[in-house]
Amino acid sequence: MGISGSGKSHLGNLISHELDAPFIEGDDIHPPSNVQKMSSGIPLNDQDREVWLDAIKTEITNISKSSSSRPYFFITCSALKFQYREFLSKVTNDDLKIWFIYLKASKEVLKQRMLNRQNHFMKENMLESQFETFEEPKDTEEKIIIIDANREDNEIKEDILKKIKVLDL
């Protein structure tokens, strides 16, 4: 989880390959209307995100059923607000443990990453709206791993892998 440009897609893909775990790119689940809005520089609202979060929750349920022999899988999602994280945490499979890996990066780092990436509907001019919407995880929120994402990809990846191992997820 994290603001656009934090490395969710790239790192999620790297880690899922490292752990031979299923990976779902949350951006691919957005309905076309959401992609169109963001491509046009219009921030999503809670109603827009509700459809997307429902689709992600469905993916979580489906993949947990189909990959029951694997200890984990990864889905990227910004999960900008507490209510979104809480909604996604409540799935129908009681055996499933949902953890959020929060890739925390400075606005400057995020902006540079967004400027460097190509072929993505979310442009750097939308960064401010993400910060306005974002609710920093509180100490009372459970199952959140906070990762310093102001570093090189390999350092971030290794940090995440260590924390997953320590927590025995």
Size (the chain), residues: 169
131-152 pLDDT, tens digit each = 999 999 998 898 999 999 999 9
For residue 67, what pLDDT band results from cuts at 50, 70 and 90?
Answer: low
- What is the value of pTM for the model shown? 0.87
Domains in the chain, start-ordered, CATH in brackets? 8-167 (3.40.50.300)
Q: Can you say how many angstroms the Cα of residue 102 is from the centroid of all Cα atoms in its chain?
A: 8
Helix (H) or strand (E) holding 49: helix 46-66
pLDDT of residue 21: 87
Q: Distance between CA 69 and CA 54 in Å, rounded?
A: 24
pLDDT digits (tens, 9 = 90+) for 70-124: 667 888 999 999 999 999 888 766 667 788 999 999 999 998 888 887 776 666 6
* Structure confidence by residue, pLDDT tens digits, 4-60: 889 999 999 999 999 988 888 898 999 999 999 988 888 999 999 999 999 999 888
